[in-house]
Amino acid sequence: HSHHTNVQQATSTRGTALLHATKRNRSTDTSISFRQTTFKIMASDTSAEASEHPEDDIHTGLDDKYWLGHKFGGTSVANADCFQKVADIIENQAKISPGKVMSDGMLVDPQMSIAVVVSAMGGKPKTTDLLLETVSLAAERKDVQPTLEFVTEKHRMCLMGLFPDSEGERDRLLAVVQQDLNNIKDILKTVSLMKWQASRISELVSGFGELWSAQILTAVLRYRQHKRSKGTSESYLRHEYVYLDARRLIIVDEEAIQNGAIDWRSSQAKMKEVYEEEMARIEPSSVLHFVMTGYVATNTQGVATTLQRDGSDYSASILGRLLQANSVTIWTDVNGVLTADPRRVPHAQVVAEVSFNEAMELAYFGAKVIHPKTMQPAISATPYQIPLYIRNTFEPSFPGTRIFSTSTRHEDLDKVVCGFASVENIALVNVEGSGLMGVHGVAKRLFGRLEESNINVILISQASSEHTITFATVASKAAMAKETIEDEFSRELRVNHVQSVDVIAPCAIIAAVGDGMAHTSGVSSRFFSALGDAKINVLAVAQGSSERNISAVVLERDSTRALRAVHAAFRLSHTTIRVGIVGMNDVGESLLRLLEAQRESLRSTFDLELQVCAILPKIDSEVIALVEDDDSGSASIGYNDFEMLNGPIDNTSGRITFNEEKVAQIVPSSGLGSLKKILFRTDYNNHILFDCTNDEEAGKCHAEWLKAGVNIVTANNTGLSGPKLQRDELENAEKRMGKQSAQYLREVTVGGGLPIISTMRSLLQSGDRIRRVDGILSISLSFIMFRVSPPKDILACSKFDEAFSKGAFDGDLSLPADSDIGEACTFSQAVKEAIALGLMEEDPTKDLSNEYTSRILMILARELGMVDFELSDVQGASDKVVESIIHTTVDYQNIPKEMDEEIKKRVDTARSRGCVLRHVASINVQERSVEVKLVEVPDHHVFAVNPPSCECVRFFTHRHMTYPLTIQGPSAGADSTASALLAELLQLMRGKSSPRSVALSRTGSSASLTPSSVGILPPSPK
């Protein structure tokens, strides 16, 4: 808001010498004389403001004075402290008390005047509500004395706090309140006798609260000025605060239109008369300020009345027009106009500027902005329209929102919508029939009858075929609307020209508002795509030719999700993703650290708010969840939060071990079955579970999670390689809701961080035909076979890479420090090293029996349409690394020598043929066969020189016949796998949240894409 703050300060403090004559000279201070008053202006800043907002040039109003309008609502004057805050703001606006709110260091026009409008005291309960309650009680002949006494005490306590050392002033004001209450009692006696709650009496009684507040505020301002000038010899400019009863000047013609209209000619004459009377009473050199009551007025017959709903805001706007004010500021308890209801969209933001039209649209749809009638005097003011400001009494330094004729139109698609609003408790009525098509007068009959029945139509939608007419009304009138239509079209219903009159309720209208939507392509697409991605069905749509508003009717139960979805789609807030993690092994811990480290970067670059809400450390453990899992989406389980609950932290790692605020907690009696319930929230659109295990029990839950709408990013290949019934259930869950089904992202199950599945899909989707896939798919057996049967001259290759890469290759081939890359070792030694490096499953038998590799083959075969294989079939048709392992229980730290000898014999045989032994899996698409073999490959074949713990996959396709397409690289390592899992998440969200503009960040050792800076993954403690 930096630029907007300057503009707001200039326009809301019109007494400052912000004259835009400085456009002529941007580099120097300029002094000009205006009405014998000298102003000093910092030209370098104000010229820029003037060029962008020429309408903000200050002008004189009534009696050639500069006027500023300010209105303070009930919450702003709820108690004594609030009254003092209001007085601070008024004095600061008048530049009496320097610099408490908006000090800009500029000299002030001494003839600037402030016009203040004040509501009745707010708080709980509000004064106006209490007064109206007394009328209701009197009409029912109930005792009103306790309520009146409460009103008296409310004001007495306020006066005690405002005038602690001025008993006389306190008693005077309290006597005014008491006298008015006595008058109210007399009025209520009449109400009680007649048992009639007349609207005139309610209006008269309810208006007293404003009379008291205005008189109290006037007294406070006078009292503060008296205290400032008391006991000092300094010369003070005298400010005269005049209490003004709005009934003296605001005249309402109640017969002009419904709810009345302002009689501007009479009101303007009254304003001039009142002003001249008050000016005659003060010294000529004094500055006059009005403190006027809000809400109340007088009709053309001279009878007291009110301006009804939001009448105080309306009063301020009326007074601003009568005075030809430079601006009117509405002070309330919010920071300005918000992009959505913060109770439903936690990340709603304050909009710096909206146009009058946009504000009216938002106000119509229930946004807490400003009532449309408040804007009417500001819009119709002559010769200048009056900008309105919405600001916060309790945060006066915040610039708030400016409402004026300028719009938010912008070429940037993210800025064309200024906000979203909704109307709840709506019913959708649909009239359908062939007899409506091409028949003149149908709409007139329909809506004419609705008007006769006093049924208000909120939204209308009609297909071009004229087969249906759909409209929305309040749910309470839906039954009446249906009866009215059936009565009007009874004949057409009998002859089946109108087939049905249907009502859908409860519904809600979701509206996107923004002047910038006009003539901007892609807005509707983004709006409805967001609703579609959130799995929200749109029942009806309406848009006017002004293109300022797009309205969609949805079921009321979906309205909160709908608001959040469209709000995030236009980047008015972040897209919140609720994240769960299953399995806190090395991969799970690395993933949690990565999510924590990259959270800020993802928020700023992709507008993604990752919220880790649930963690299941082990399949048989209890769930760790957020302590405060609220709508804000700001809390997230971090690595330290997890370790504090999961066990002692390794002090050698240097991590912080103390956290003042407890973020996470263990959920009692929870487990794998309750994880979905803890993670899933119906008011959120994006839920993701990371399965970092290789556990079959977790794999069995994948289909259930998908059906619940939870997206799964998995490193666990047991789900896709389980029994056929389980695989079919997964496939059905993926297709359950068509394109709106939850996604099952499985790239990591095959190649870890290598793009094997995505490459395969790209080949197939581009029209290529895959004939064969083969390769080294097990990182553990890649390592073991490399160690027992190393290729020749591999050390020379390593030395070349170290020299040629100029430091990018560090020579680490995942070998123990005391191992020689070129020397063969025994099978038992290679297994021990693989276990120590974390390359093998918890049960190494799964690797050595080909179970792990067979599962990967089943997943790849499924992608190729070969779905009839079972795990036992693949394992049965494969070579066993060591046959005896399958039939015995083996201590892998003490493998029998017989196994070493068995492997060494096969290695020596291969070496005698100039080959090395490699563990190779293959899929033959033409023969529809899969197999895993220990193969003798030539010493310089790509499989032979494949580095240890790396995968190497080849695709033989119709287009790649001469040479196969080869993917090779490391797929092991917790950090690498965690990065691949996060990449899958970003791939999932790519269509929902594209990255903001980024730059290539270069350092001495790396390059990365970053908006400003990228969070760095802390070193793993493992």
CA distances from residue 940 to 269, 481, 773, 946, 970 in whole angstroms, order as listed: 103, 83, 20, 10, 19
CA triplet 351, 353, 357: central angle to 5 degrees?
A: 105
pLDDT at position 445 over 80 = yes
pLDDT at position 12 over 70 = no
- Containing 392, the helix (H) or strand (E) segment is strand 388-392
- Containing 613, the helix (H) or strand (E) segment is strand 608-616
pLDDT at position 776 over 90 = yes
Please choose, from the candidates 992, 1012, 990, the residue with its C-alpha nearest in 3D space to the C-alpha of residue 1001. 1012
What secondary structure does DSSP assign to 985-1004, as a single string? HHHHHTTT------EEEE-S
pLDDT of residue 813: 54
Would you state the structure tokens that stand for residue 1014, as one six-digit string? 């990228």
Phi, psi for 508 (deg, rounded to 5): -145, 150
pLDDT of residue 52: 45
Please choose, from the candidates 426, 430, 474, the residue with its C-alpha nearest in 3D space to the C-alpha of residue 453. 474
Question: Within the chain, how many helices (H) and strands (E) appear?
Answer: 33, 34
Whether 778 contacts 770, CB under 8 Å: no
For the chain, give the percent of residues with pLDDT over 70.
83
What are the tens digits of pLDDT across the range 840-899? 888 888 888 889 999 999 999 999 999 888 888 888 878 877 665 555 667 888 888 888
Confidence of residue 232 (pLDDT cuts 50, 70, 90): low
What are the tens digits of pLDDT across the range 541-553? 998 777 788 999 9
pLDDT of residue 467: 82
CA distances from residue 551 to 413, 418, 539, 542, 746 in whole angstroms, order as listed: 18, 14, 11, 5, 38
CA distance 626 to 629: 5
Average pLDDT over residues 622-649: 81
Confidence of residue 645 (pLDDT cuts 50, 70, 90): confident
CA distance 365 to 599: 35
Whether 653 contacts 632, CB under 8 Å: no
CA distance 337 to 321: 22
CA distance 777 to 779: 6
pLDDT of residue 235: 54
Q: 3-state DSSP call for residue 259?
A: coil
CB-based contacts of 518, cutoff 8 Å, min separation 6: 409, 546, 547, 548
Burial class (CB in 10 A: 0-12, 13-18, 19+), 796: exposed
Please choose, from the candidates 812, 702, 813, 680, the residue with its C-alpha nearest in 3D space to the C-alpha of residue 749. 702
The whole-chain average pLDDT of the chain stands at 83
Please choose, from the candidates 693, 694, 850, the residue with its C-alpha nearest in 3D space to the C-alpha of residue 778. 850
pLDDT of residue 21: 31
Give the number of C-alpha atoms closer than 13 A to the C-alpha of residue 563, restricted to the C-beta side: 26
Phi, psi for 383 (deg, rounded to 5): -85, -5
pLDDT of residue 323: 93
Would you state the structure tokens that stand for residue 908, as one six-digit string? 């020596």
pLDDT at position 581 over 80 = yes
CA distance 40 to 334: 34
The Cβ of residue 940 has, within 10 Å, a number of other Cβ atoms equal to 12
Please choose, from the candidates 139, 241, 140, 226, the residue with its C-alpha nearest in 3D space to the C-alpha of residue 187. 139
Buried b (16+ CB within 10 A) or exposed e, 114-130: bbbbbbbbbeeebbbeb
Would you state the structure tokens that stand for residue 502, as one six-digit string? 């249907």
User: What is the 8-class DSSP label of residue 269?
Assistant: H
CA distances from residue 546 to 361, 522, 694 in whole angstroms, order as listed: 12, 16, 57
pLDDT at position 87 over 90 = yes
For the chain, give the percent of residues with pLDDT over 90.
49
Would you state the structure tokens that stand for residue 930, as one six-digit string? 């899969």
Whether 882 contacts 827, CB under 8 Å: yes
What are the tens digits of pLDDT across the range 370-407? 888 889 999 999 888 999 999 999 999 999 999 998 76
Whether 668 contacts 625, CB under 8 Å: no
- Containing 548, the helix (H) or strand (E) segment is none
pTM for the full model? 0.73
Residue type, 726: Q
What are the tens digits of pLDDT across the range 177-225? 999 999 999 999 988 888 887 888 888 898 899 999 999 999 999 999 8
- φ/ψ region of 18 (left if φ > 0, alpha if ψ in -120 to 50, else beta) reads beta
CB-based contacts of 809, cutoff 8 Å, min separation 6: 801, 802
Residue in this structure with the two tokens 């005896």, named with its chain if needed: 884
Average pLDDT over residues 118-131: 91
What secondary structure does DSSP assign to 322-371, as a single string? HHT-SEEEEEESSSS-BSS-TTTSTT--B-SEEEHHHHHHHHHTT-SS--
Residue type, 561: R
pLDDT of residue 942: 93
CA distances from residue 356 to 374, 413, 570, 798 in whole angstroms, order as listed: 10, 21, 21, 70
pLDDT of residue 888: 64
- Greater pLDDT, 531 or 111: 531
Q: What is the CA 16 to chain-centroid distance, rounded?
A: 38
* HEC secondary structure over 666-711: ECCCCCHHHHHHHHCCCCCCCEEEEECCCCHHHHHCHHHHHHCCCE
What are the tens digits of pLDDT across the range 659-671? 456 888 999 988 9
pLDDT of residue 104: 38
pLDDT at position 745 over 80 = yes
CA distance 387 to 68: 11
CB-based contacts of 484, cutoff 8 Å, min separation 6: 449, 450, 453, 455
